[in-house]
Amino acid sequence: MAPSSASPVPIELVYKEVDGVQIAMDVYIPENATKEVPVPVLVWWHGGGLVTGTRRGLSPHMLHMPAKYNLCIVSVDYRLAPQIHLPEILSDCKSALDFLNTETFAKATRDCVDTSRVVVSGSSAGGWLALLAGTGIGYEASGVERPKEIKGIVALYPITDILDPFWSTKQRPVVFMDRIIEESEVAVFMDTNSTTLSWSTAESNRGFVYRYCLQEGIFEQVVLGGTGIDPGAYSIAQNVRTGKFSMPPTYIAVGNGDTRVPYRQSLDVAKAFKSVAAYIDYNELDGLDHLFDTEDKYDMEDLYRFIKSVL
């Protein structure tokens, strides 16, 4: 999991250990950050459908962020489904945000990071985690205390509602794969008694699990298991419309050619924010697919203008 030689080298910190599983974050600090002039923080959760992925999956524009925009980026792992379910994942998100305010974090970062100025962010499933953490939606249902208030939310092509028929309608095969995934290919990863992981690389066959969930229409079952929690408790737009949650300024970017997460989910969130007069900067990019920002040509300048405006 070592970063490439062309990438900035992060500070690696274990922020939580549970049942023998260490969960870590990578902290990238601008070179000119000092104790006298500390830099604000963007906390980022990776995508992968909550079933795979790693904190080392930062897009190029994010790796450029510390030097170009004078921001600290904290890239966070979390335990993966289906061995762990959404309530435990939200607990990990809360633990990561709490860890920013510990003496351990302050010492490791030489007091150069201003943890009173935090934006939460994520891509795909990580965008969902950012929306949940930033608003507090889903936390009470999960039996987890809401995170402290943050300055803003940045969600890229996020999952936002597992009640959408997209997740329960079988896709055989999924549109972005040219074959059926056999159960035997993912059986060890789907076994809830298998070893709990806090990261998984794209090269692993575990990368097929999200596709298998779409193929078989079982995503809700995989991320919620037998928790008995109403999946609507994690639906962003539905809960925003209740007016019961605080809505920090929010930025969403999504391609309307997305094949992995329906872009209508982000559009619905934007409409919900507007219905309660909450600020949202919604960016729908024509024809672009999922993961578009992982290409070097997308510098995401609008995203960083938004972050600057809320910090």
Question: What is the average per-residue pLDDT within 53-63?
Answer: 96
7 pLDDT tier (thresholds 50, 70, 90): low
Residues 65-107 pLDDT 10s: 999 999 999 999 999 999 999 999 999 999 999 999 999 999 9
**Within 13 Å and on the Cβ side, how many CA atoms surround 100?**
29
Measure the CA–CA gap between 95 and 234, rounded to whole angstroms: 19
Measure the CA–CA gap between 287 and 126, rounded to whole angstroms: 22
Looking at 3.40.718.10, 3.30.470.20, 3.40.50.1820, 2.60.40.10, the CATH number of the domain 11-161+230-310 comes to 3.40.50.1820
Q: Two tokens at 169? A: 């309608």
Residues 290-304 pLDDT 10s: 999 999 999 999 999
**CB distance 141 to 238 below 8 Å:** no
Domain borders along the chain are: 11-161+230-310
Region for residue 263 given its phi and psi (left: phi exceeds 0; alpha: psi -120 to 50; beta: otherwise): alpha
Whole-structure pTM value = 0.96
203 pLDDT tier (thresholds 50, 70, 90): confident
Mean pLDDT computed over every residue of the chain: 95
Could you tell me which of 261, 260, 257, 236 has the C-alpha nearest to residue 247?
236
204 pLDDT tier (thresholds 50, 70, 90): confident
For residue 201, pLDDT over 90 is answered with no
C-alpha distance from residue 14 to each of 11, 26, 42, 202, 291 (Å): 10, 9, 18, 22, 27
Q: What is the dihedral of CA 141, 145, 148, 150, to 10 degrees?
A: -30
